[in-house]
Amino acid sequence: MTRIDPRTAVVSDRLAGVQRIIGVTGSKGGIGKSVVASLLALSLADRGVRVGLFDLDFTSPSDHVVLGADRRFPDEEFGIDPHRVEGIDMMSVAFFAGDAPVPLRGDAATNALLELLAITRWSDLDVLVLDMPPGLGDTNLDVIRLLPRLEFLLVGNGSRVVIESVRRALTLFAELEVPMVGLLENMHRGTSTAIADLAAAHRVCFLGSIPYDETLEEALGDAASLRQTAVYAGVPTLD
């Protein structure tokens, strides 16, 4: 289907002015992908990096909640313009869908992804951060296929229910030869070195451990408070 889909050609044109595309991904939900993606974008913007943030979790978009973005409908003329939020160019299905649920699967998920990639008018960016949906399903495989320049930043944590799936993700990305920014541990508690050890075993860069931060919940939606959190302090600088 995609070989004859004109949107695939449009996608690379739309992203021609973007230097790096970094997918913040994880093998499970609830491990902090959205918070990490949003605060990575915020910290890059604060340091003068031209950054975009694209929420690709269509069924549960959350970056607009993390950053406190209005859900205004995007401006439209020969495509749609991202919103500007705290110096970040931001796009999310939440800007279109209001409170309506967006249940998508299979081809519908791929179509929504292609459509948004094809119509969004990104300006010249140093980094476009993609906030990926949980798991290793359709959208993750689609962006790997559609965006040859993609690099993944994998978020994990040291819980025994997560480690196994982080290992699977590392194996899959190695098999698919996706370039890796590295593995970042989030919500670190105690003294476990399981995630750092996994990074070493799979020869990917270990990007550090972000501790569990009780103040995060209160800080959501307010950039000044977010800048005081352990997540903001712990996201990688990408230098």
Q: Which residue number has the CB closest to Mg ion?
A: 34
Which positions touch ligand ADP (CB under 6 A)? Answer: 26, 29-35, 62, 134, 186-187, 210, 212-213, 216-217, 230-231
How far apart (Å, rounded) are the C-alpha atoms in residues 30 and 213? Answer: 14
Amino acid code (one letter) for 198: L
Whichever of 30 and 148 has its CB closer to Mg ion, that residue is 30
Beta bridge partners of 91: 54
Report in angstroms how near the CB of residue 92 gets to Mg ion at its nearest.
11
Report in angstroms how near the CB of residue 155 gets to Mg ion at its nearest.
10
Report in angstroms how near the CB of residue 7 gets to ligand ADP at its nearest.
26
Q: Which stretch binds Mg ion (CB under 5 A): 55-63, 156-164, 197-205, 227-235?
A: 55-63
Report in angstroms how near the CB of residue 234 gets to ligand ADP at its nearest.
8
Q: Does 140 bind Mg ion (CB under 5 A)?
A: no
Token pair 């098999």 is at which residue? Answer: 175
174 within 8 A of 162, measured Cβ to Cβ: no
Whichever of 94 and 210 has its CB closer to ligand ADP, that residue is 210
**Binding-site string for Mg ion from residue 63 to residue 102, where x marks contact by CB under 5 A and - marks none:** ----------------------------------------
Per rule CB under 5 A, count of chain residues that contact Mg ion: 3
Q: Does 186 bind Mg ion (CB under 5 A)?
A: no
Whichever of 57 and 89 has its CB closer to Mg ion, that residue is 57
Whichever of 104 and 231 has its CB closer to ligand ADP, that residue is 231
Q: Does 43 bind Mg ion (CB under 5 A)?
A: no
Q: What is the secondary structure of 72-118 as a DSSP string?
A: PPPPBSSSBPPEEETTEEEEETHHHHTT------HHHHHHHHHHHHH
* Distances 117 to 7, 46, 73, 219, 236 between C-alpha atoms, Å: 8, 25, 17, 30, 25
43, with CB counted inside 10 A (0-12, 13-18, 19+), is: buried
Q: Indicate the SS3 state at residue 68.
A: coil
Report in angstroms how near the CB of residue 177 gets to ligand ADP at its nearest.
24
How far apart (Å, rounded) are the C-alpha atoms in residues 223 and 173? Answer: 33
Counting Cα atoms < 13 Å in the Cβ hemisphere of 179 gives 9
Residue 192 CB neighbours (<10 A): 16
Among 25, 27, 34, 110, binds Mg ion (CB under 5 A): 34
Residues lying near Mg ion in the complex (CB under 5 A) are found at 33-34, 57
